[in-house]
Chains A and B, each alone.
Chain A
Amino acid sequence: MKKKIIALFLFATLMLGLTACSEAEAEATKLVIAARGGSHVDAMNAVKEKFEQENNVTIEILGLEGADLKQKISLDSKNATASYDLIMADDPWMPELCEAEIFANLDELGVSGDEDFESASLNLGKYPYATGKLYALPFSGNVQLFFYNKEIFSSEGLDVPTSWEEVLSAAKEISETEGHIGYAVRGQQGNPIVSDFLPVYWAFGGSVFNDDWTAAFNNETGIDALNMYIELYNAGANYEKADIVSSVSEGSAGMSLGWPSWYISGENASAEYAPIPSKAYNSSMESSTGMIGNWMMGVTNNSVNKEIAAKFLTYITSSEIQKEMVNFGGVPTRKSVYLDEELIAKNKHFPIQLEALTNSVARPRTPKWSEVETILGAELSAALAGTKSVEDALAAAEVEINALMQ
């Protein structure tokens, strides 16, 4: 028994020793990319070989879940030598990360944000937003669209709604049929409900903040929009993402907002799509709406391979490579890719998506956005659940957010 224990312990120590040795240094330079796991990683892995060969580098891509990615790139930014040469960031993180000087200035590295990039996407990579220097390029161009079920619409004789008033009346009509719900709301507290509600609010002409960063939603516009949202819920149901997609696709729900990648893959779209209604009532003015949700990519400030990393960044966001990545689930950010005839044939939604990008709205550019989103998410959830009145919820959110922004 004693011998067994000693043997086990020796074995354990041996294993420890073996596995403790770091990997041998590669001959060629190594670029490490910290990325959002899933299709982004797949797409990059599919197209990186050419660059690797031409430049004698090996490229390693670390795919992580969203919140983890943010944590890791934040932690690594304070290290003397970077573990990651290139990093991906969700666009709402840009203000916070730029303020912390995590990104290297791309202008100085010879990377240009040329005209072909969709401007709404490109602006996200500049700090300050839209006017400042370039710190990241848009890598993946996601934007919200409006989705509806064709069968329901044709059987009820409905037209594609162009205002939220129409959405509501359509929803009510659809709900009258047994087993159908009109509109699927994504009401989970936090990012889901905020992403689901803001397009409605924006279509009503509202904005989250005033120019001086005080809360701008506790007013008639905000109350109107939130009431509309709750009425949509009453003429429908509160589902989470998988349910929304399946019910709109199957035909048990009429309409919802969503990200294209939920419904569309290549040629196949499981539901019809349209731009998000951009006005509140038929008589209202149109406003930009549709939340833009791009993944940006930049070079880290503490990288030791900045030049090569910058070169890769140019490569991976080039028109040619973006076209290739579409085949692996990539989402373009360049106009030339969206307007490419061959690709449009295989991805019929591209023109509409480009239009949606042009008319999209970015989430407010503040480093404190994630905290703002938490507060809004909680209050909106309370209003939806009925534990607070619409007025109370918005008022409470205003107070908290103003306190936060000071």
Chain B
Amino acid sequence: MHNRYRLISKLTEHLIIIWTLFPIYWMVNIAIQSTRLENRVSLIPISLTWKNFQRLFVEEEFASAMMNSFIVTVVALSISLFIGLTCAYILARSRFKYPVKPLLLLWILLVRIIPPITFALPLYIQMNSYNLLQTKIPIIAAHVLLNVPLVIWVMMGFFKTIPRELEESAKVDGATEWQLFTKVMVPVVLPGIAAVAIFGFMMSWNEYLYGVIFVQSPGQFTVPLKLATLNSEQELIEWGKVASGGIVSMIPVTFFMIGMQKFLIQGLTAGSVKE
């Protein structure tokens, strides 16, 4: 009985790993082979080449796109985390009758629900009227707009699970509100912060819709915009570039995610503080 259970669990585990990784393996497979459309891409890579990656950087100026993506993502993420955490904390734990709170919550939810398509045009008009279109401000602002609701809703959940005793003991020790927030609350919810940081980075890095509506010159291209032009109607899709583009695009996000890993598990020590 126990063995059968273990068998099922092992099987499930392997199935999930194969299921998760196979498409990625396939993508790597395409990227490192010289794929001509006539030939089926073989299951196991045979003739290896770096050409697809080379062409990506030479023909598509991928490096500058990555730089742009990087700037936009880092700035947008920093701002989103900062204002999202502060707001989520209050919304989750404040004891005061905060009359606007339901309205604020609804507003934040609304922002998340509305499809970005709807906001794209009016935001364009707005930014255009402020003559900001030549700068990175519109796209950074749009990304903050996309990120903040997620940060708030997720972190609210995390902040709510912190017991009051923790708060009270900190106050007994003479902590100010700000110290309470930064030295007690935030460390406890670090796993949540790591999670939304990963999503925020990834969302911003891969964001396409606002990127395309605000871009005005080729120098402003971000990575998703570059990748989108590879999908053509009257021409064949160059699968090699698509795959290598996907892989290269994924690398910074992966590094960021790996960097966040240690914060994800920090909760283990913080958990003991909860008792």
Contact = CB atoms under 8 A, between A and B. Distances in A.
Contacts of A23: 134, 217, 219
Interface in B61-92: 71, 74-75, 78-79, 82
A39 interface: yes
Contacts of B24: none
Contacts of B229: 37-38, 63-65
Nearest to A22: B134
Interface stretch (B3-11, B162-170, B231-239): B231-239
State which size class the interface on A falls in: 35 or more
A243 to B, nearest CB: 10
Given A2-B178, A15-B75, A20-B136, A39 B235 contact: yes
Interface string B197-212: 0000000000000001
Contacts of A153: none
A12 interface: yes
Given A9-B82, A15-B71, A259 B228 contact: no
State which size class the interface on B falls in: 35 or more
A66 interface: yes
B109 interface: no
A270 B75 contact: no
A38 B40 CA distance: 24
A15 B67 CA distance: 13
A400 interface: no
Nearest to B182: A1
Contact of A71 (B79, B213, B235): B213
Interface stretch (A157-165, A245-253, A303-311): A245-253
Given A39-B235, A259-B234, A19 B71 contact: yes
B263 interface: no
8 contacts: A1-B183, A12-B78, A15-B74, A22-B134, A38-B229, A63-B229, A83-B133, A246-B37
Interface of A: 1-2, 5, 8-9, 11-12, 15-16, 19-23, 32, 37-39, 42, 60-66, 68, 71-72, 75, 79, 83, 142, 191, 241-242, 245-246, 249-250, 259, 261-262, 270, 293
Given A22-B135, A270-B37, 6 more contacts: A62-B217, A65-B228, A142-B234, A249-B37, A259-B235, A261-B235
Which 10 A-B residue pairs are closest in the complex by CB-CB distance? A37-B229, A12-B78, A22-B134, A19-B136, A20-B135, A249-B38, A65-B228, A1-B182, A259-B234, A68-B212
